[in-house]
């Protein structure tokens, strides 16, 4: 099932299925290493709708809810 990264619970490993949004969103995510097909782990999800911390390619990256909602992912087993 494909869901927004903003809706994934901490501790889950997911695979980027698609990135919604315009060129700016795709470029921003590409610069920090998030591309369709990449696997990432959601480390924390901020309290009170704060940022989401993910681990990708061995790096920790914080994403705001707006950008995270543009990343569509599917859970890996």
pLDDT for residue 27: 95
The whole model's pTM is what? 0.90
What whole-number distance in Å separates Cα of residue 46 and Cα of residue 63?
Answer: 10
Residue 23, exposed/middle/buried by CB under 10 A (0-12, 13-18, 19+)? exposed
What whole-number distance in Å separates Cα of residue 15 and Cα of residue 73?
Answer: 5
Asked whether residue 66 carries a pLDDT value surpassing 80, the answer given is yes
**Structural domains of the chain sorted by starting position, each given as residue range(s) with its CATH number in brackets:** 2-75 (2.30.30.90)
- 11-46: pLDDT as tens digits: 999 999 999 989 999 999 999 999 999 999 999 987
């Amino acid at each position: 099932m494909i869901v927004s990264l903003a809706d994934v619970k901490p501790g889950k490993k997911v695979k980027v299925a698609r990135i919604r949004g315009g060129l700016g969103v795709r470029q921003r995510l590409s610069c920090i290493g998030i591309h369709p097909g990449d696997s990432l782990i959601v480390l924390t999800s901020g309290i009170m709708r704060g940022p989401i911390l993910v681990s990708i390619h061995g790096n920790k990256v914080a994403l705001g809810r707006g950008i995270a909602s543009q990343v569509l992912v599917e859970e890996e087993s």
